Amino acid sequence: MKIPINYPFVDKEEIREVTSVLSEKSLTSSAFEGGKRVQQFENLLSKFVKSKYAIAVNSGTSALQASLYAIDIKPGDEVLIPSFTFVATANSVKSVGAKPVFVDILKGNYTIDPNDLKKKITKRTKAIIPVHLYGHVSFMDEILEIAQKNNLKIIEDASQSLGSKLKNKHTGTFSNLGCFSMYAAKVMTAGEGGAIVTNDRSLFEKLRQIRNHGFSKNHSTISFGLNLRLPEINAAIAKIQMKKLSLMLKQRKNNAKILTELLSDNKIIRPQPRKNETVNWYLFTIAIKNRAKIMKKLNSAGITSAVYYDPPIHKTSYYKTQKKLPNTEWAASNVLSLPVHPNVNKIILQKMVKILEN
């Protein structure tokens, strides 16, 4: 049996809930509040992360895009983002006509470097999108201070960090808006889906308009909007997944603990959560030499590993820039992500370590 890098933890409960949606023939809803299961999922999510509001949309990318519209990012504005992330972060900025400005990362946890962030601020800078990569939490205290001093908005890209916390505060809730993804590979899934959390009532109402063609409660077009709605089938899956989330996170944490304890080779740089940080272990990402050789050995043993992200965004053909981001480029050349999802067991982890250290 081949072990994938990530695998959706789906069983009879999700199938039963999806079947109910099909039986009811209420596949989606254009209601201002969303469909029944959309609302149920939103309530579960806001309760879990302890936010006042949650808005479900059809992808993590849509969540970022809608958030940028909600804080009035316009053509010509600059938004500071890490280059070491999935390209959707940059694409969402481009989609609203703004310019993504790439910032280096810290080697310690692969998130945006606050010192380099300060250097990249210009008169055109309007917002920062820190990415909580692999489930590691960005240095939000420093980022919030920088944003406050420079009158900048923050949108957290928490697509990979549902369940991660710093000082017992969930990612996505440190700032104006937090965006999550429920893509099939994430810690919980809707198949495809996304969500935004906020404590700001006006942003909440604005986002509900943006996701549904700019409609008001009486279906009058009162603002710009798109069709970013989450279908009821996807919301049905997400609703059940939310109920299992704590268990799935516990299993990931246990697997990460075992893997950390088994790894003894000092040449392998292991993830090191900092004090007061809870990592959701979306991916267990190490830095290692001879990466291609190790990946080949793991693959031969039926264990899928993956490189996220090589090339980084600023080195892709579309976004290519000559500016140097040394830590980003080091990470792109050395990181390797390993599976620790609930379908991984101790025997697989032991096999993984044997390959990594031989």
If you ran DSSP here, which 8-state letter would residue 135 be given? G
- Indicate whether 265 pLDDT > 90: no
User: How far apart, in whole angstroms, are the C-alpha atoms of residue 342 and residue 256?
Assistant: 11
pLDDT score, position 226: 97
Strand order in the sheet with 153-157: 53-57, 194-198, 177-181, 153-157, 125-128, 78-82, 99-103
Percent above pLDDT 90 for the chain: 96
- Indicate whether 14 pLDDT > 90: yes
E strand spans, 138-258: 153-157, 165-166, 169-170, 177-181, 194-198
Question: For 58-105, what is each residue's pLDDT tens digit?
Answer: 999 999 999 999 999 999 999 999 999 999 999 999 999 999 999 999
- Indicate whether 322 pLDDT > 90: no
Question: For 280-292, what is each residue's pLDDT tens digit?
Answer: 999 999 999 999 9
Per the model's pLDDT, the better-predicted residue between 236 and 266 turns out to be 236
Mean pLDDT score across all residues of the chain:
97
User: How far apart, in whole angstroms, are the C-alpha atoms of residue 43 and residue 172?
Assistant: 15
E strand spans, the chain: 53-57, 78-82, 99-103, 125-128, 153-157, 165-166, 169-170, 177-181, 194-198, 277-278, 284-287, 335-338
Domains and CATH numbers, the chain: 12-240 (3.40.640.10), 245-356 (3.90.1150.10)
- Indicate whether 182 pLDDT > 90: yes
Q: Backbone dihedral region of 254: left (phi > 0), alpha (psi from -120 to 50 degrees) or beta?
A: alpha
